[in-house]
Amino acid sequence: MTDQELPNGFTGFSRRKPEGFVSAHDAMGGRSPLTDGPGAFGARPRTAASAAPSAYEAASAAFGDGAEAAFQYARDHARPDEGGPAQFDPDKLRLIPALDRRWAWTEVDLNAVRHNVTAVKQRLSAGVRLMAVVKADAYGHGAVRVAKTALNSGADYLGVATVDEAIELREALVNAPILVLSQPPQAAIPLLLAYKVMPSVYTPDFAIQYAETADAYGMRAPYHLAVNTGMNRIGVRHDEVVEFMGQVSFHRALDLVGTFTHFATADSTETLDFQIQVKRFIEAVSALNVAGIDPGIVHAANTAAAVRFPDVHFDMVRLGVGLYGLHPSPVTRPMIDLRPVMSVHARITDVRTVPMSEGVSYGMNYRSPGSVKICTVPVGYADGLRRGLSGRTDVILRGQRCRQVGNICMDQCMFEVDMRTYANRQKLDPQIGDEVLLVGREGNSIVTIDDMANTLGTINYEVAIGFGHRMPRLYV
């Protein structure tokens, strides 16, 4: 390949140098900034003439033992090439833990998952199954680990939203039945069959194509029939289910494994719309039975209905938000003990005293009142800490709530620590590296996902999922 053929405008600098070009390595007399000179990894002792502290000394002063470990790693694993700068072993670099690459993480309490599954299972009659809904990467908690924990705790089925979510579970050797809770595109049918994943079905075209593809491979085409009882999102209309089955059930490969609907208002105090949906669903299932069609596993209850209405447990309930210790509404709080699964943590990356009246963060809509220290943590709205929470949420430092201040940035946010002395409160002295809790409980202080959702005027589902996008997870 010529220089002109290299993609994206890159040229072959490794094979030719522009006229007058001098590399940094040559300019330093053959020394490497990674292995030679003040501030280098593995640096030799400085002479008296070198007054500035080395990078190692500066980092050690700021980060303590963490810097020692990082610099020791560099000294141990740099591999000098003959006549060139030191190079690092990529395999060794990959072993540096995610929590040491960025001081922000979520903790997922798998014991809480076990508790929540057990708490719901105890409300079910013998023989009623439980589906653990792990869509959206288990609501931001990590689908594979949560799915395995739920199954080991008594769940029978798994529910996902997309084919790729199902494939992720199969490739992690999860062998339980998996239902995609909507009808995928027809082009995804070979993936359903290859990975043994059941789709929801509600259009004849998809059902026939699914059956034809399965038959061509000598396979069955199992599915769950989605019934629209009033939410009007997906599904065959409740009074047309027999007609629909007449259009598709002739195909020898199709296998109706289950029939389900979804409640729009099971979490509301007003139950009229809920009761209408229940009546329509029962009539639809009865119509299938009268027509000689076995509806398979009948399921309708989401978390709210599973907790509030035992009469709609049918053959299986679907545990979604409750699996993660979050309540679908205040109505369910006194009815069942659910334990939050997620907490959000960070370490302080900067501490500074900001003079009175000086601003903090974009827009400077917060001004220092004086006698405070402003601390920065590396969590922002790209990590799920929504910008709408700016100045409206707290963090917990050593068991005390501290006010978040200034606009939350994409990757960072700030909070203030009052440095004044109070008779009834221990004075805090924040330091770089101190752990801070953004969601969770420490002592008598607590910040919850529900608090944030209420402040934002949204639901806890949305907030929880946001925290699962970028931060590493620690399973405890």
**pLDDT tens digits, one per residue of 209-227:** 999 999 999 999 999 999 9
Q: How is residue 303 written in tokens?
A: 């978390």
Tell me if residue 1 falls in helix, strand or coil.
coil
- Provide the token pair at 92: 């060794």
What pTM did the predictor assign? 0.82
Q: How many CB atoms lie within 10 A of CB 217?
A: 12
What letter represents residue 454's amino acid? N
- Candidate from 30-44, 78-92, 126-140 with smallest mean pLDDT: 30-44
pLDDT in tens, 165-211: 999 999 999 999 999 999 999 999 999 999 999 999 999 999 999 99
In the predicted model, what is the mean pLDDT of residues 432-460? Answer: 97
| Alpha carbon distances (Å) from 467 to 93, 143, 384, 443, 452 | 26, 14, 4, 23, 12
**By mean pLDDT, which of 71-75, 131-135, 322-326 is the weakest?**
71-75
Report pLDDT for 360.
Answer: 97
> What's the pLDDT at 425?
73
Q: Which residues contact 445 (CB under 8 A, 6 or more apart)?
A: 396, 399, 400, 401
Neighbours of 259 (CB within 10 A): 26
For 211-229, the three-class secondary structure string (H helix, E strand, C coil) is HHHHHHCCCCEEEEEEEEC
Look up residue 446 and give its amino acid: I
Catalytic residues: 135, 362
User: Going by C-beta distance under 8 Å and a sequence separation of 6 or more, which residues neighbour residue 2?
Assistant: none
User: Which amino acid makes up residue 174?
Assistant: V
Per-residue pLDDT tens over the stretch 261-275: 999 999 999 999 999
**What HEC string does 233-295 produce?**
CCCEEHHHHHHHHHHHCCCCCEEEEEEECCCCCCCCCCCHHHHHHHHHHHHHHHHHHHCCCCC
Whether the pLDDT of residue 2 is over 70: the answer is no
Q: Which two tokens stand for residue 25?
A: 């390595």
Model confidence at 66: pLDDT above 70: no
Q: What integer pLDDT is reported at residue 424 of this predicted model?
A: 74
pLDDT digits (tens, 9 = 90+) for 10-62: 333 343 444 554 444 454 444 443 334 433 333 333 333 334 444 445 444 44
The rounded distance, in Å, linking the Cα atoms of 249 and 299 is 20
Pairing of strands 297-301, 316-319: parallel
Span 379-390, average pLDDT = 98
Q: Are the C-beta atoms of 463 and 456 separated by less than 8 Å?
A: yes
The span from the CA of 258 to the CA of 233, in Å, is 19
Q: What share of the chain is helix, strand, coil (3-state, %, to 5)?
A: 35, 20, 40
Q: Is 331 helix (H, G, I), strand (E, B) or coil?
A: helix
Q: Which residue's entry shows tokens 């040559």?
A: 26
Q: What is the pLDDT of residue 337?
A: 97
CA-to-CA separations, 368 to 277, 352, 354, in angstroms, rounded: 55, 11, 6
Around Cβ 115, how many Cβ atoms within 10 Å? 17
pLDDT of residue 83: 58
Taking alpha carbons only, the member of 417, 410, 420, 370 closest to residue 390 is 410
pLDDT band at 74 (very low <50, low <70, confident <90, very high): low
Is the pLDDT higher at 162 or at 70? Answer: 162
pLDDT score for 267: 96
Mean pLDDT, range 301-318, rounded to an integer: 98
Q: What value does the mean pLDDT take over residues 409-424? A: 89
d(CA 16, CA 243): 73
What would the mean pLDDT of 383-399 be, rounded to a whole number?
A: 97
- Structure confidence at residue 67 (pLDDT): 53
Mean pLDDT of the chain: 87
Instruction: Report how far residue 361's alpha carbon sits from residue 346's, in angstroms, rounded to the nearest whole number.
Output: 19
Q: Over pLDDT 70: what percentage of the chain? A: 82
Structure tokens of 80? 């000098």
Distance CA 406, CA 260 (A): 47
